[in-house]
Chain A
């Protein structure tokens, strides 16, 4: 072997090792990093919704009894366009004084229902009870039921649906 091709610093074997690891790492990164992005990308588009939903005339709702109302919104997830159902409870206190609760349990997002016998909202998933004003009576929820922002327009009750 001619010595003119010999480096004093590195033999052929270590050179090949280094080049192989650099090439290998580069190839793995070229394929691997986009794969991470590929997998998580649907999570990066935050759904945004901002709508005033009409719940009809306030007179439709009885005084002092939480009354359910449901509405549908069209949602796009990935390739799927679907109609999703949302629920609310209207508690009309007096005249125009009204509270609208979201029916989403503040614990882990199951849906609550109004239990007239117990005079409370009940979540079946982990046996949580909320009082008429949404306050936690018992069970695991960390905070009272969420409330929608409301307004009256031409005799109609509207709630502000926001997401994101």
Chain B
């Protein structure tokens, strides 16, 4: 019975083909360093899911941001867990993604024909750092406030357009309610949309081109 339902669906949806293409693709003999991309993807999904949960209680205004997070930590059951996963997962994702980048670099896996896989990967790394930068402000505590002050001042040191970039980041001259709300928008809408699209491109290329061998003495 189950078999015939599956066959009926498979004939119409091509499930076996999807499975074969994505999960049963041929890979060379590889080592544990090759798991870092999947680890980053998993952590990225975890960030997405825990982030959606946090947005149930979090409020991005100076009056309520800090208190809403205190409420998540002390008033909501398992709030500490969801926020803890999001907090530590963020750092761990940067770590796995960066090690993944180093692996690709040192194995020379960015070479022809995989240049675009590398470009999209570097773009994703920058996107992840952007998520880190915008997410850091959201607790609206002393550390976030000063980290964002310093971070936007660093952007402000760019020659000629620095001051403009600083004011676009802050939404004005000061760090204010406007800054908090635009960082929130970047963090939950704009960057995720860009990152999801880029992850799709990255995975498409990985599946289309396959992954490269570990280079040996002759190569």
Contacts and interface: CB of A to CB of B under 8 A. Distances in A.
Our verdict on whether A and B bind, yes or no, reads yes
Contacts of A78: 171-172, 176-178
B150 A110 contact: yes
Contact of B170 (A43, A75, A79): A43
Nearest to B179: A77
B30 interface: no
Nearest to B174: A77
A80 B62 contact: yes
Given A75-B174, A78-B171, A82-B176, A43 B164 contact: yes
B172 A77 contact: yes
A84 interface: yes
Contacts of A77: 171-172, 174, 176-179
Contacts of A79: 177-178
Contacts of A118: none
Range of interface residues on chain B? Answer: 10 to 19
B171 A164 contact: no
Contacts, number: 57
Interface in A112-150: 125
B102 interface: no
A17 interface: no
A108 B172 contact: no
A46 interface: yes
Interface in B157-198: 164, 167-168, 170-174, 176-179
Contacts of A43: 164, 167-168, 170-172
A42 B174 CA distance: 11
A163 interface: yes
Contacts of B179: 77
A47 B177 contact: no
A84 B177 CA distance: 12
Contact of B146 (A39, A75, A84, A110): A110
Contact of A108 (B153, B167, B171): B153
B149 interface: yes
B154 interface: yes
A45 interface: yes
Contact of B178 (A42, A108, A110): A42
A2 to B, nearest CB: 44
A47 B150 contact: no
A125 B170 CA distance: 20
Nearest to A43: B167
7 contacts: A47-B174, A77-B171, A77-B176, A77-B178, A78-B172, A82-B176, A109-B150
